[in-house]
Amino acid sequence: MIFSSAKKKPVVDPAIKRDEEGKTIANYVDELPTSGITVLALKSLDFVAPGEWDNITSYDAMLKKVKGETDPGFLRQVRTKSLELYSDPAQGYQAGLNLYQLVDSADKALGAAAFADKIGQKVNLLSFLEKLTPKADTTQTIDLSMKLIVELIAFTKVNGIPGDSFGDFVKALGEYGGESKIRMAALLCFDGLIPLGPDFVEKARAGLGGMSPDRLAENATFKRIEKFIPGNILGDKLEFVRGSFDSVTGWMGKFVADNDLSVGRVAGKLADYVEGADGKLDYLGAFLDMSTNYFEHTGTQSMAIRLIDRAVNEV
């Protein structure tokens, strides 16, 4: 994790198998921060889905909230079942969570320095300018594409469907709500609109179209998730990336239009939490990339909620 607030110790479930990190899904949720730049940045997007995202950082609280259940005995059964489902690698939840963890930028040098320990505290972007280097458009295009790929592959793994089920994925995107909708809003705003501009969809599509397999292979984000992307050779993987991106261009354009997303509006909302956000756009994208892990944060919440939903139906 990039940020850590003072939290209770993770719940220990000795009877449940843990993943390769020695943790259950409850541990990951309980370790999520209650504050910090990731949380502040996500809160700035509330206008996209007013009141839909609740930053739940307690697995027990999540158990109660997801279905509105209060019976202690039933909740214990659901908890046990959800942890059992997560502990089985064949169910796809471990792989999905791992993907969300891997895709956020590896360079988190600004994370600790820029930490905001109180919700509502403003972070001064100007004080970090000397440490920021905006990404080239090609690199940003790949990073945007990799996060879309992670969302697609996590979706297919959890639902047990083929990795190229583009139609099912696009349909699901249109039905996203809560933490999933906020994650997609952040993706389009923080990794698309702000660093690449208002025509980011076409710019990224053109960039992928002219990209060589070797250029893709050089990208640090691609290297972290390469093993999950279908294809035996780099050329096949690049074609999968292109096909995946093409399949969601219509959804991206509609999401931007439906929510009236613009560089100025998003930067203005961010300025409520990040001082200078609306005046240093060249650096804002780099700042958000280096100081947030919104994909991992909301992805952890999504995996937990899906597990709880399924456990409720199976108990």
- CA pair distance 9, 282, nearest whole angstrom: 40
**How many whole angstroms separate alpha carbon 200 and alpha carbon 193?**
6
CA distance 78 to 279: 48
The β-bridge partners of 123 are 274
Helices assigned H by DSSP within 31-71 = 37-43, 59-67
Give the pLDDT band of residue 112 (cuts 50, 70, 90).
very low
For 25, the 3-state DSSP assignment is helix
Place of tokens 């850590």: 4
At residue 121, the pLDDT reads 60
Encode pLDDT of 36-66 as tens digits.
889 999 999 999 989 999 999 999 999 999 8
- Integer Cα distance of 281 and 265 in angstroms: 12
pLDDT at 58: 97
Asked if pLDDT for residue 1 goes beyond 70, the answer is no
Q: Return the pLDDT at 214.
A: 95
Number of CB atoms found within 10 A of residue 20's CB: 8
pLDDT tens for 124-171 read 787 777 778 888 999 999 999 999 999 999 999 998 888 778 899 999
Band (pLDDT 50/70/90 cuts) for residue 108 is low
For 274, the enclosing helix (H) or strand (E) is: strand 274-275
| Local structure of residue 191 (DSSP, 8 states) | I
Nearest CA-CA partner of 211 in 286, 136, 100: 136
Residue 31 has pLDDT above 60, yes or no: yes
Tell which wins on pLDDT, 287 or 10. Answer: 287
Report which DSSP code applies to 124.
E
Full-model pTM? 0.89
pLDDT tens-digit readout, 260-272:
999 999 999 999 8
Q: Is the pLDDT of residue 3 over 70?
A: no
